[in-house]
Chain A
Amino acid sequence: MNNLIKKYFYGDYGEIEEGGSNTSQENQWPLWEIFIRSKQGLDHKHVGSLHAADAKMAIENARDVYTRRLEGVSIWVVESKYITANNPDEAGELFEPAKDKIYRHPTFYKLPDKVNHM
């Protein structure tokens, strides 16, 4: 069953080896993933994607699209083709090792009532 689509699109990385722009869409500006820090002290968070000719334009467009209401104090842009993602079809195996290690959670330990808020 082959349902791959040979195109670059956000969220669909890693299957296509050649990197670089999609040959059938030479004229299209590359796709960028946008990450915004909403305020000092918080992580940058993925908010979406947009097309831009270069990094500077990607930042300026991200400013116009994603921070019109002061939603951000810092912007990261990454060209989508540089993001590698795991294959969701194999996500089961990938995350399997964490499943049976419930002793990593504090709730695993039953303590006397007196100290149970520890």
Chain B
Amino acid sequence: MDLEKLATNFQQKINEEIKIEPKDWMPDAYRKTNIRQISQHAHSEIVGMLPEGNWITRAPSLKRKAILLAKIQDEAGHGLYLYSAAETLGISREEMLEQLHTGKAKYSSIFNYPSLTWADMGAIGWLVDGAAIVNQIILCRTSYGPYSRAMIRICKEESFHQRQGFEILWVLSQGTKEQKAMCQDAINRWWWPSLMMFGPKDDESPNTAQSLAWKIKIKTNDELRQQFVDMIAEQVKVLGMTLPDPNLKWNTKKLHYDFGEINWQEFWNVVNGNGPCNKQRLNARIKAHKDGAWVREAASAYAAKKNQPQSKVA
């Protein structure tokens, strides 16, 4: 079959909502875009464990500690699902880790912000995981089969993350004056970075049009961001807290919330490596990988030894 015919067949499958599977023919750019998006997503899950890991030993009770551990373990699992999905496109795990550790591959810029107080664990669960879920639910319908299956599995597990986050803030919002202030402070610091999680505006997002045509993306960054704002603007009322945006207002014509302009300079700064914790996060990742090297080697050596034909023992 010639290239043109293959490309036509491919697009036809996409249009008919038939998933693309690893061994099917696909345009090189489709493969590349998926590798980029899925591996960045995987890196985000893995780096995302770090801001929360910061609070495991300082969680206020054994219950909270157990919950936080379970949540972080989920994120390691989500990273694995996604790395496996990316591997089906022909990139190796080692290559992906290499790209992360050298800074060639990006991860969600949200994880370059510090988690300063216990209330941040609540805000991260509610806002950061909340934004992730909005993104991920729609990605369950993405055209690449292994990515879609990974997303379905992740979404099943993710809802506990958002609920436990909201519950942390809910408890604080019912507490002392100081606890209430801590709750509001965490919301103030995490709100804008959460909005940035949806990426650049549609007219400044160069990959969006092609990704939509290939159904790698189903909705645009701005559509998803709006959906998130509408959801959170209602939920924050339950907490008796506010969002740090004087322009946030229900628009009776559009039937959506209007909201203020995101600080895009800050966004690009963090994406380009100059956020508050970029260095710290990457160093922690590299250290963990290096410190674990002897375990990987020992396991390989043990497996190789066991596989050797047994010599006769008298």
> Residues on A close to B: CB < 8 A?
1, 3, 5, 7, 9-12, 22, 25, 27-29, 31, 47-51, 53-54, 57, 64-65, 68-69, 85, 87-89
Contact = CB atoms under 8 A, between A and B. Distances in A.
Contacts, number: 80
Interface in B229-287: none
Nearest to A28: B94
Interface residue tally on B, bucketed by range:
35 or more
Contacts of B81: 48, 65
A1 B3 contact: yes
Given A1-B3, A65-B77, A12 B23 contact: yes
B90 A7 contact: yes
B73 A68 contact: yes
B212 interface: no
B84 A50 contact: yes
A3 B89 CA distance: 12
Given A25-B94, A68-B77, A88 B303 contact: no
Interface string B195-229: 00000000000000000000000000000000000
B300 A27 contact: yes
Chain B interface SS verdict (over half): helix
Given A11-B23, A12-B88, A31-B87, A65 B80 contact: yes
B312 to A, nearest CB: 23
A22 to B, nearest CB: 8
Which one of B25, B70, B74, B90 has the greatest number of beta carbons of chain A within 10 Å? B90
B21 A11 contact: yes
Contacts of A3: 25, 28
Contact of A7 (B28, B84, B92): B92
B303 A53 contact: yes
